[in-house]
Chain A
């Protein structure tokens, strides 16, 4: 079974420090990491490979520095990694991103067709959850989003069964492979990397692909290929400053209740 996992490099937003006075971002505090959902996607792909045999290939679109997240995936047990990197990709919105990734997948799977594509549920920076469905539509394969469990893979019949998370439970869905799956974090517990994988990752050099090597239409990429653009940027509106109620605990509570009572009577 050939499994392709789409992995994005993102700033570690939990580490981002923001200066509330100037609204500026202290980027030195934000290391680039693998999108957390994508790490679970890689782990799930590796688990399936362990059970069913085959190969796990990583694909990422990003700046040259994103080779680091591909190496991280090799640590997690992936076999190969490809970085799509080109200035022509810069400024891509989700439509252009899904085009580039789909073309990349077609290119690297020419001689070894894929049965499954894994994506994260969403990227923690862009946060749109649109790239997974976009890739599925471009490759004309079924999409299974918000998956929190893979329950069965029947390689002979080429059918996969998963649980898709719903607001108040889950649904059991069966799909014909090849198909695309986007994963929730609950799908697995990340495992520690093995020593051989770590050693391999340290030496590993990901394959690099640029726009010309994708056999694709450059007008569908980057700013040109992106229907959406930013018209305006502004600071968010704030609610008015709060009224501070001071005094001993009993006094403040009395005052608060009085004020609430007045306000609710309005």
Chain B
């Protein structure tokens, strides 16, 4: 892959990169210490490495060819043990009866996977008094809804959700399970995958199917977004993945769509449980809804200091936008982390993203690529953000932002009216 992490790590200078970006071993110098194996971000090196590492890179490229050329073919049926696993499931996350938008986005993504595999798409809904939400899930593409209702499932708890979810998987054997990469989804996914002893890929940005082997191709960023890795779980089912909110497109609901409701019996013995939720405290003003914002004005280190950062708030306020920030601005203490956009912040997909004094580091860009229009203002004509924006203005953001207020306001008002 050409990251050269192993080359730098090798204490004996026994590794080098060839022209195709694959690492080679100088056999006489290698002492099998294994340090290169540990640093490889994509687990491409193994020990004893000579024959194997080569084989593996070859396999990898063969595999690409297979998956790229045959996606049009119909999915085959698997033989043996894996064949009993069928269907795509989406964990439907809800709080107070409200379904998380990421779950609906995943129904959209799951629908495509299910069609490629020629199987059903099911939503798995756990909660208390939520049966009426099932209709909603059919509209977003589910063929079937597994409904688990019980007062003990009103709030998410790892223990109760995990036990019931695992039992359901063991009964119906789905081949793919998707969950939102939210605090709840990640908590549940990690526990469920371990109980089932199966593979789980975190924070995927793309999902596809290799129909030949009925494999879920789960793509996620590696090394700070510089490289994408497609991860598979060849010999284990179900194949699990989490996906962050706003990464998949929200499907258009089809209101007349119907589905099948499967009510599942739930038994919870509270006396056997080891955790209790005592209270849920909502903190007003704590929720920053960057993910759903239509317009975002984001500021970076280029604004100079915390006082100057106010130009973002000013502009945002006058055009009804949300404020966002780069990590550099967050680390400078100008704004709280929950406003951070990017790989270690939120992924956003607004209609308009305005970047003021942001250089466009890859970790920032991965979080904004879903925006319809990106407007960048930066004093440096060579700034990387100009390579990936829609419109770039070379200039001082502190001067330009205030000037943008009135005309943008006008434009947005006109658009709304028409």
User: Which chain A residues have a beta carbon within 8 Å of chain B's beta carbons?
Assistant: 11, 13, 16, 18, 20, 22-25, 27-28, 62-63, 65, 87, 90-91, 93-95, 98, 124-125, 127-134, 136-138, 141-146, 161, 164-176, 179, 223, 226-246, 249-250, 252-254, 256-257, 259-261, 263-264
For A20, the chain B residues whose CB sits under 8 A away are 362, 384
Pair B275/A24 contact, Cβ less than 8 Å: no
B290 to chain A, nearest CB (A): 11
Residues in B with CB closer than 8 Å to A254 are: 407
Which label, helix, strand, loop or mixed, suits the secondary structure of the B interface? Answer: mixed
- The reply to whether B183 and A146 contact each other, CB–CB distance below 8 Å, is yes
- Expressed in whole angstroms, the Cα–Cα distance for A65 and B34 within the complex equals 12
B42 interface residue per 8 A CB criterion: yes
- Verify B277–A173 contact, CB threshold 8 A: yes
- Are B3 and A24 in contact, with the CB atoms below 8 A? yes
Chain A, residue nearest B43 (CB): A91
Residues of chain A lying within 8 A (CB to CB) of residue B39: 11, 27
- 18 A–B contacts from the bound complex (CB under 8 Å): A18-B224, A62-B38, A90-B46, A91-B46, A143-B191, A167-B183, A171-B155, A171-B279, A172-B280, A174-B276, A226-B43, A228-B201, A229-B234, A231-B230, A236-B225, A238-B387, A242-B387, A261-B411
Contact at B390–A130, with CB atoms within 8 Å?
Answer: no
- Cα A241 to Cα B78 in complex, Å, equals 44
Report the stretch among B106-114, B138-146, B303-311, B394-402 that lies at the interface. Answer: B394-402
The listed residue (A95, A136, A142, A172) touching B193 by CB distance below 8 A is: A95
Q: Which of B46, B63, B158, B407 contacts A142 (CB 8 A)?
A: B158
Specify the chain A residue showing the minimal Cβ separation from B399: A249
Considering only CB atoms, which chain A residue lies closest to B187 in the complex?
A: A145
Q: How far in angstroms is the closest Cβ of chain A from B204?
A: 11
Q: Which of A142, A169, A233, A260 has the most CB of B within 10 A?
A: A233
**Which listed residue (A87, A142, A232, A244) contacts B159, Cβ 8 A?**
A142
| A242 partner, pick from B9, B287, B391, B399, beta carbons under 8 A | B391
CA A174 to CA B163, docked complex, whole Å: 19
B130 within 8 A of A: no
Bound state CA distance, A249 and B399, in angstroms? Answer: 8
Q: Is there a chain A Cβ closer than 8 Å to B172's Cβ?
A: no
- Point out which of B2, B274, B374, B403 has the most chain A C-beta atoms below 10 A from its C-beta: B274
Whether A127 lies near B193 (C-beta < 8 A) is: no
Residue of B nearest to A141 (CB): B274
Instruction: Convert B399-418 into 0s and 1s, putting 1 for each residue whose CB lies closer than 8 angstroms to a CB of A.
Output: 11001100110010011000
Binding site for A on B (CB under 8 A): 1-5, 8-9, 32, 34-35, 37-47, 60, 63-64, 67, 155, 158-159, 182-183, 186-187, 189-191, 193-195, 197-203, 215, 217, 221-236, 274-283, 286-287, 344, 352, 362, 366, 369, 373-376, 381, 384-395, 399-400, 403-404, 407-408, 411, 414-415
Given contacts A13-B224, A130-B186, A231-B231, contact A168 B411 (CB under 8 A): no
Nearest A residue (CB) for B41: A125
In the complex the two chains form, is B8's CB within 8 Å of A28's CB? yes
Residues of chain A within 8 A (CB-CB) of B400 are 249, 252-253
Q: Which of B35, B191, B217, B414 contacts A137 (CB 8 A)?
A: B191
- Cβ–Cβ contact A128 & B203, under 8 A: yes
Given A132-B190, A168-B283 in contact, is the A242-B228 Cβ separation under 8 Å? no
State the CA gap A28–B10 with chains docked (Å): 12
Complexed CA–CA distance, A127 and B217 (Å): 19
Q: How far is the CB of A71 from chain B (nearest CB, A)?
A: 19
Report the bound CA distance from A168 to B45 in whole Å.
42
Contact (Cβ within 8 A) A243 B392: yes
A16–B193 CA distance with the chains assembled, in angstroms = 31
Given A91-B46, A145-B158, A261-B414; 4 other pairs, CB 8 A cutoff = A87-B47, A91-B45, A137-B195, A233-B60
A134–B190 CA distance with the chains assembled, in angstroms: 6
Taken together as a complex, chains A and B put the C-alpha atoms of A16 and B366 apart, in Å, by 17
Cβ contacts under 8 Å, B201 to chain A: 228
A168–B286 touching, CB < 8 Å: yes
CB pair B47–A174 under 8 Å, yes or no, is no
Q: Please tell me if the beta carbons of A227 and B5 are within 8 angstroms of each other in the complex.
A: no
Q: Which of B202, B222, B277, B287 contacts A172 (CB 8 A)?
A: B277
A245: which B residues are within 8 A, CB to CB? Answer: 391-393
B38 A23 Cβ-Cβ under 8 A = no
Q: How near does chain A come to B140, taking the closest CB pair, in angstroms?
A: 21
Given contacts A167-B182, A227-B233, contact A18 B228 (CB under 8 A): no
Q: Is the CB of B34 within 8 A of A63?
A: yes
Identity of the chain B residue whose Cβ is nearest the Cβ of A146 in the assembled complex: B183
A34 to B199, CA, bound (A): 26
- The smallest C-beta distance from A236 to any residue of chain B, in angstroms, reads 5
Q: Which 6 A-B pairs have the closest CB atoms?
A: A133-B190, A227-B199, A242-B389, A27-B8, A90-B37, A128-B202
Most A-side CB within 10 Å, residue of B39, B40, B381: B39
Bound Cα distance from A234 to B1, whole angstroms: 8
Q: Are A144 and B275 in contact (CB under 8 A)?
A: yes
**A95, B199: Cβ atoms under 8 Å?**
yes
B47 to chain A: closest residue by CB:
A87
Contact of A260 with B373 in the complex, beta carbons under 8 Å: yes
Which A residue sits closest to B17, measured CB to CB? A24
Taking the closest CB of chain A, its distance from the CB of B235, in whole angstroms, is 7
Q: Are B404 and A253 in contact (CB under 8 A)?
A: yes
A169-B8 Cα distance, complex, nearest whole Å: 43
Chain A contacts for B42, CB-based, 8 A: 230, 233
> When the two chains form their complex, are residues A98 and B63 in contact, meaning their CB atoms are under 8 A apart?
no
Chain B residues within an 8 Å CB radius of A137: 190-191, 194-195
Q: Kindly state the separation between the CA atoms of A167 and B393 in the bound complex, as whole angstroms.
A: 35
A179 contacts across to B, CB distance below 8 A: 274-275
